[in-house]
Amino acid sequence: MRKIKLINIGGINIFDKQIQLKNKISYHFISWNDVEQALINDDGKLIFQKNIGKSDVLPDYILLSQLNYNDNLIHKIVEGLLNDKDTQYSILYDKNSVSSTLLLEQLQNHDATSVDLKNPQKFIDYFSNYFFGGQEGSKLSVGNTVGTTSKLNKIVVRGNTTVSFEGEFGSEFNQIYAWRYNYVFQENKIIEIWLEYQTENTAEVMLYMTRISTNGENILQTIRLVGDQLKNPYIINNFNPGEYLFCSIFARGRGEIKIGQLHIRRSRESLGTFFVGGKRIVSKNRQEIMTYFNPGDRKPPLNVYFSGYRSAEGFEGNFMMKSMGAPYLLITDPRIEGGSFYMGDQDLELKIVQTIKDTLQYLNFESNQLILSGLSMGTFGAFYYAADLQPHAIIVGKPLVNVGDVAYNEHSIRPDGFPTSMDVVYNITGGNTVADKNLLNKRFWEKFISGNYSNTTFRIAFMKNDDYDPTAFYDIRKIFNNKDVAVLSKGFVGRHNDNSYAINTWFIKQYQNILQYDFGRKEDDT
């Protein structure tokens, strides 16, 4: 198991030999007096370990303690750490030792995370549980089901979107649904559970979970969640690796119940979703979109990146966007099997737009200091929300805009290549006919053509033989015929997934060009 690398900068080492360091943590202490010299020796970076393989090893987290030690020295060092775009570590600071208002504002403006070091051992326990590296998320799918124990209710399975039950469920809770395969607990990782469901009339649901011993013979814990207990993700801890979690749905009352995906993620509790600082947008039907903001150097532009299709839940493109140095906002769609193209109920879409607007306002930026971007499924989000935001530029690779056609092509030019597309049609329109396919296409174009793009530059890389949405680029270009809109494009021979390397290289180059020539960032700043 990879250890989390933590560097503590402070006046004295509070994590001395009497403090039990978890075996998940590699720890190194540098005093405030020595850190400036360490930065000089390591070319402005704090190195956790030098010359391992082909590169130095950087820390995952830097913990700042005794921040009242020497104001001038600390301000200088903290500024350098916060503005170093070439590193991927996160900054933590002891909230109890900050005596300077200016320093506190500096840390908060860069989204450094406050922690409590009054009890060092308690902090180490907390850190080892929630400040892990990377991100982990999966789901128990609608397609992975046992079925129902009742013959009295109508059942409809809609691909990987929902399974619905309609009828009388009785006055007491009875099991109607279960997932065929269990979740296996790993290495004492704390997890959180989120269930997608909808109910009508008097119908109620209960999420019933059973923790089972590693040998499968003993029930160790039974968890029943109903009503308000399902309003927030439910945290499960204190288990052993190899134990199983069996999940099922109980119901009572009368009406219709729709069950969607059961999301299971490694939890950071109140620190965020997937990443420290990750946030959830939740629609009325309990479907989610996640966002993560990094303020970078707080200088324009704000770069928004919509993740592509992902079976594993989480954000995409973090290292790429961080390397550019500018503020960035990641947006990811964990719905259905790998995403639902960032469309949804009106409240969900309004919240996505408002999140971007709020981030611009937080940075004191205008819409002409915004770039929307994405690859494949992410291109839809960039195009779709451009109408609401009037960005400076849109940078995309492998555009997908006629999502109805993407689904329709599943039975013709691309058999069984992207079946999720058919789930997307049903998830958004509630149907799966040719009329629904056309309705979904119409939904995009009506929104897209309503936008004002007179001050927006489009940079589009596309596959000339795309088997997902063959006409996407040409349809967009046609919209701007005889209009004063800048469209720069590059076509590559091949189908949708044939040359991702060339698409990605072109994509990054366009970002670098815009940052340098439109926003005055030096080439070595990007």
Computed from CA positions of residues 263, 267, 271, 274, in that sequence, does the dihedral angle turn out positive or negative? negative
Contact 130, 271 (CB under 8 A): yes
**Each residue's pLDDT tens digit, 272-316:** 999 999 999 999 999 999 999 998 888 999 999 999 999 999 999
Angle, CA of 348, 460 and 398, to the nearest 5°: 70
**Each residue's pLDDT tens digit, 184-223:** 998 778 999 999 999 999 999 999 999 999 998 999 999 9
* Backbone region of residue 78 per phi and psi (left: phi > 0; alpha: psi in -120 to 50; beta: other values): alpha
Q: What is the pLDDT of residue 309?
A: 95
Q: Which amino acid belongs to residue 161?
A: T
Q: What is the pLDDT of residue 490?
A: 96
Report whether pLDDT(47) > 80: no
**Each residue's pLDDT tens digit, 255-268:** 999 999 999 999 99
User: For the residues 498-525, what does the mean pLDDT come to?
Assistant: 90
The three-class DSSP label of residue 413 is coil
Omega prior to 301 cis, within 30 of 0: yes
Q: What is the pLDDT of residue 498?
A: 94
| pLDDT-based confidence at residue 120 (cuts at 50, 70, 90) | very high
Kind and range of the H or E element at 444? helix 434-448
Phi, psi torsion values for 299, nearest 5 degrees: -110, 145
Which burial class, exposed, middle or buried, applies to 35 when counting CB atoms under 10 A from its CB (0-12, 13-18, 19+)?
A: buried
CB atoms closer than 10 angstroms to residue 106: 16
Give residue for tokens 């935001």: 389
Contact 275, 298 (CB under 8 A): no
Q: What is the pLDDT of residue 77?
A: 81
100 vs 511: which has the higher pLDDT: 511
**Each residue's pLDDT tens digit, 52-72:** 555 567 788 989 998 887 777
| pLDDT-based confidence at residue 157 (cuts at 50, 70, 90) | confident
Question: How long is the chain?
Answer: 526
- How far is residue 201's CA from residue 88's CA, in Å, rounded to a whole number? 50
The overall average pLDDT reported for the chain is: 89
> Across the chain, how many H-helices and E-strands are there?
12, 24
Residue 463 C-beta-side C-alpha neighbours within 13 Å: 22
**Each residue's pLDDT tens digit, 375-415:** 999 999 999 999 999 999 999 999 999 999 999 998 888 88
Closest to 58 in 3D by CA, of 91, 90, 88, 27:
88
- Structural domains in the chain, CATH included, are 4-130 (3.40.50), 137-265 (2.60.120.260), 269-519 (3.40.50.1820)
| pLDDT-based confidence at residue 101 (cuts at 50, 70, 90) | confident
User: For the residues 469-481, what does the mean pLDDT come to?
Assistant: 94
Question: Who's near 435: CB < 8 A, 6+ residues apart?
Answer: none
Contact 332, 281 (CB under 8 A): no
Residues paired with residue 236 on neighbouring β-strands, in sequence order = 191
78 vs 525: which has the higher pLDDT: 78
Please name the residue ranges forming H helices in 344-411: 346-363, 377-389, 403-408
Strands 49-52 and 219-226, by their bridges, are unpaired
Residues paired with residue 205 on neighbouring β-strands, in sequence order = 251
Phi, psi torsion values for 495, nearest 5 degrees: -85, -175
Q: What percent of the chain has pLDDT above 70?
A: 93
In Å, how far are 176, 284, 386, 403, 417 from 203, measured between CA atoms?
Answer: 12, 17, 40, 34, 38
* Backbone region of residue 364 per phi and psi (left: phi > 0; alpha: psi in -120 to 50; beta: other values): left
- How far is residue 520's CA from residue 518's CA, in Å, rounded to a whole number? 6
Q: What is the pLDDT of residue 524?
A: 58
Q: What are the structure tokens assigned to 377, written together?
A: 């499924």
Please name the residue ranges forming H helices in 173-324: 318-322
Closest to 156 in 3D by CA, of 300, 24, 31, 256:
256
The three-class DSSP label of residue 265 is strand
- The secondary structure of 250-291 as a DSSP string is EEEEEEEEEEEEEEEEE--GGG-SSSTT-EEEE-TTS-EEEE
**Each residue's pLDDT tens digit, 159-173:** 889 999 998 999 999
Q: What is the pLDDT of residue 410?
A: 87
**Each residue's pLDDT tens digit, 418-474:** 888 999 999 999 998 999 999 999 999 999 999 999 999 999 999 999 999 999 999
Closest to 510 in 3D by CA, of 414, 426, 394, 425:
394
In Å, how far are 96, 180, 435, 496 from 403, measured between CA atoms?
Answer: 52, 31, 13, 14
| Global pTM value | 0.92
Q: What is the pLDDT of residue 3?
A: 82
| pLDDT-based confidence at residue 36 (cuts at 50, 70, 90) | confident
Strands 191-199 and 234-236, by their bridges, are antiparallel
User: For the residues 96-125, what does the mean pLDDT come to?
Assistant: 89
Q: What is the pLDDT of residue 149?
A: 54
Angle, CA of 141, 146 and 150, to the nearest 5°: 125
Q: What percent of the chain has pLDDT above 90?
A: 65
